[in-house]
Structure 1
């Protein structure tokens, strides 16, 4: 298939705007043809998932673009890297690995990307608006942008997301197009929960991720969330256990005012009912650590903690007695961390074992002091990935139970 190109597209392809722009356009066109896109469309922003160092090939790719005087053409945020540039002494990494990891993060800045280094770009000033076409990498960011905001992006992987940023273009395909955004599988919830807990949203996300396949899920009966962080947790879990890039929650998310709107007037291809027992089962599979097990650490903020989550955490932290020596790592974006510091919100929290982590995440790099014990988290994504990534045993629980457990030195869950 030959794609229709604009004069600017051809100018980039012909090398008139530099070798890096030509390379990015050539790759983007090859990708677009491979997926059967009907054309290209303009994007207003990008989020790049290639800052995490996985080997020399990724660094070589970005440095080649830098050498060719490459620059991004739209506002472009950066996902987490392998290193906390704010707290460099916290990362335990051999120099042979640290140097390329740092260089990869720096090379993206040389392309004109923003130094956000967060998996939650929707918490920054670069948050897109409803209906905007964007090209984002990072699974939780993608599902949040599509579902909670109503912006439009596909699941772009390393290199393609950067090619979109450098050309300002993306394939007119998939979730960029209205006809592909309609719901196709229905999940009916029967989970009476009073004030809905964070873990309910995690559990629902785990289930729809596993069961949706490549169908856009619609959720009916989901309780009204306390805030968008609960929807963030749902989307992150769904994108972790499956390939979900968009979900519709009836009466909650912007493209699902009604069931009929979510399905665009068509019938669901399949209906799955979810009970409270189903949710409890899904959560139980995240960890089988019994209460009373000694605790090595707590890790929160995957995806990165928002300011609102910090405001819920800090009173919980100050309500318990410090002194057990259990570190509480909280992954967060540097913009959020700066705001907290300016507000004085973190003053005195070191006494409770609080350790903010920026620019990266504790399940992708060597930050935790101890990997030989149980680490407690309220994140479905962290609980899913950490055992395989860093070899820890995980206990999943609500945030308040994570903090209570750190205070007493062992896992406690449920009513105080």
Structure 2
């Protein structure tokens, strides 16, 4: 039927087959406490992954999915086995860490078409190193351990424990993932960005403190993602100690390991952003896509936990977007754009919608987006585009013709074409904008707001007070907040009743910082419009910045198309 299956992580398992028709992000998509799929936009919403032979083409979305999987494993709620149609890093890494550090085996297999499609139709499957069996289907299995990987003298010394136990464990994990990616060797990277500092589950803390006890110290400059609490103020904000305490401990553990407490999901907004061509080791999906696409730096979409392994060793697998060929576009997305977009509000709401649809249209390959250069996107427009793209695609980057630095000649000769029409844009907007008209919370800053975005909100509010019963919250990095304070923008926002929080972001915020009375949330973030319903239990609607300001002042946001689609 096809070649043999590959045992990425060996082991035996059997169980009912749960075959997903499209990729899933475990973070924001699976409840780690129950194993239930909570992504309301996924076709399998409500199904439970625990105990199943879970099949999907690949994963997508957040790098934090590895932490969710590890928590499921440690809590006895994991799938019995994972089966992918091609290479997959995020969930595989969670399974690698479970095996290497905690002795819990979760088999991972890769099955090529057409055998993958046949297995997906089975009701029950048995998998092991000697083969896969399921209702008339029998597949031989080959081990991943046979894949060659050339190691430097430094790599071998690290594996021998010469740099300490934590670095040895980190190098072991790196080599396993490098082999499954098909890398021939590891390369040096100049800097790392830690995404695993988000307290997505207890597993994140268990991993960090385990590595710290083993003597972990970062070997290269390392920044940190947004965390799950306002580090200095969470106790005064009424956050439950059972959550706030572990979340703060997690952040502190990474700081003690030598990471810089930048606490931002937009490290590209920091003053020392990477240069074009620079090989870096970043985690966090939107940051990775922006770094590759807009800055022209080079990084894979490293899963949580691998980010620390890279920081401890300064090494990363030479695979994926570190190489030239995987950065080429295998699909061309031809956008039909409104002629009045600039007149209707400088792309207000367009870019998150375009990114969301681009990810759906190119879920497993790098795309080239055409027809957008005349809109002259700003860095913040591209931030919104990349973040939304990362929620619906597994690809680590995109190109925008006439805009991004590697777009010229990016399309492969065999690249296919997909048209994204105004009708597609209108249909997607209607789906993401649907919900109650009354709004109790306006959520801005996912990813973290830039200084320009803070200024734009202050100008739009123009000193007017937010309506009673409506909370308006912006999340931003410490550096941006300091600049906004110094120039008076923060004072203007506060005078209008806007709250600006450092350190955390919308994808990690918890109650009561997330207002307990909120039932309907309006956001201008395509990323949070996607993840928000599953994370918050609220109706989360996508709106333009103008919609968000109107809701802030009146408490209402009628469901409607933006002016450039109306």
TM interval, shorter chain, is over 0.9
- State the alpha-carbon separation in 2 of the partners of residues 401 and 191 from structure 1: 21
Q: Which has the higher helix share?
A: 1
Greater displacement, 115-124 / 14-23: 14-23
- State the alpha-carbon separation in 2 of the partners of residues 238 and 91 from structure 1: 33
Quick check: 1:217–1:247 contact (8 Å CA) kept in 2?
Answer: yes
1:98 shift after superposition = 1.9
Confirm or deny that 1:238 pairs with 2:385. Answer: no
Equivalent residue number for residue 191 of structure 1: 337
Quick check: 1:46–1:75 contact (8 Å CA) kept in 2?
Answer: yes
- State the alpha-carbon separation in 2 of the partners of residues 50 and 92 from structure 1: 24
Task: Give deviations 1:180-203, integer Å, cap 9, x for gaps.
Answer: 111110111121343151322112
**Equivalent of residue 500 in structure 2, options 356, 367, 379:** 356
- Structure 2: runs of 5+ lacking an equivalent: 1-146
Quick check: 1:287–1:396 contact (8 Å CA) kept in 2?
Answer: yes
Equivalent residue number for residue 126 of structure 1: 272
The correspondence of residues 266-277 of structure 1 with structure 2, limited to 5 A, is 266-268=413-415, 270-277=416-423
TM-score (norm 2): 0.69
Greater displacement, 106-115 / 400-409: 400-409
Confirm or deny that 1:379 pairs with 2:517. Answer: no
The SS at the match of 1:271 is: strand
Greater displacement, 157-166 / 93-102: 93-102
Quick check: 1:371–1:392 contact (8 Å CA) kept in 2?
Answer: no
Confirm or deny that 1:294 pairs with 2:438. Answer: yes
RMSD value over aligned CA atoms? 1.8
Equivalent residue number for residue 19 of structure 1: 165
Give the direction of change, closer, same or farther, for the CA distance of 1:68–1:89 in structure 2 (3 Å limit).
closer
Quick check: 2:205–2:250 contact (8 Å CA) kept in 1?
Answer: yes
Q: Which runs of 4+ in 1 moved over 6 A?
A: none
Task: Give deviations 1:269-320, integer Å, cap 9, x for gaps.
Answer: x211111221121122113126xx2221111010110111112111112253
Give the direction of change, closer, same or farther, for the CA distance of 1:111–1:193 in structure 2 (3 Å limit).
farther
1:325 shift after superposition = 4.4
Confirm or deny that 1:254 pairs with 2:391. Answer: no
1:373 shift after superposition = 2.2
Equivalent residue number for residue 210 of structure 1: 360
**Equivalent of residue 343 in structure 1, options 484, 487, 494:** 487
Equivalent residue number for residue 60 of structure 2: none
Quick check: 1:77–1:126 contact (8 Å CA) kept in 2?
Answer: no
Greater displacement, 215-224 / 365-374: 365-374
- State the alpha-carbon separation in 1 of the partners of residues 474 and 219 from structure 2: 33
The correspondence of residues 257-336 of structure 1 with structure 2, limited to 5 A, is 257=408, 261-263=409-411, 266-268=413-415, 270-289=416-435, 293-318=437-462, 320-336=464-480
Task: Give deviations 1:56-111, integer Å, cap 9, x for gaps.
Answer: 33222211222232211111111111111143257543212222111110000011
1:251 shift after superposition = 0.6
Q: Could you say which structure has the larger radius of gyration?
A: 2
The SS at the match of 1:387 is: helix
Which structure carries more relative contact order (alpha carbon 8 Å, separation 6+)?
Answer: 1
Equivalent residue number for residue 182 of structure 2: 36
The correspondence of residues 393-404 of structure 1 with structure 2, limited to 5 A, is 393-404=539-550
The SS at the match of 1:331 is: strand
- State the alpha-carbon separation in 1 of the partners of residues 385 and 198 from structure 2: 24
Task: Give deviations 1:346-403, integer Å, cap 9, x for gaps.
Answer: 1243332200011112342222223542211111111111111011112321112211
Aligned length: 408
Give the direction of change, closer, same or farther, for the CA distance of 1:65–1:192 in structure 2 (3 Å limit).
same
Quick check: 1:376–1:402 contact (8 Å CA) kept in 2?
Answer: yes
Equivalent residue number for residue 104 of structure 1: 250
Equivalent residue number for residue 200 of structure 1: 350
- State the alpha-carbon separation in 2 of the partners of residues 339 and 132 from structure 1: 27
Equivalent residue number for residue 62 of structure 1: 208
- State the alpha-carbon separation in 1 of the partners of residues 467 and 365 from structure 2: 49
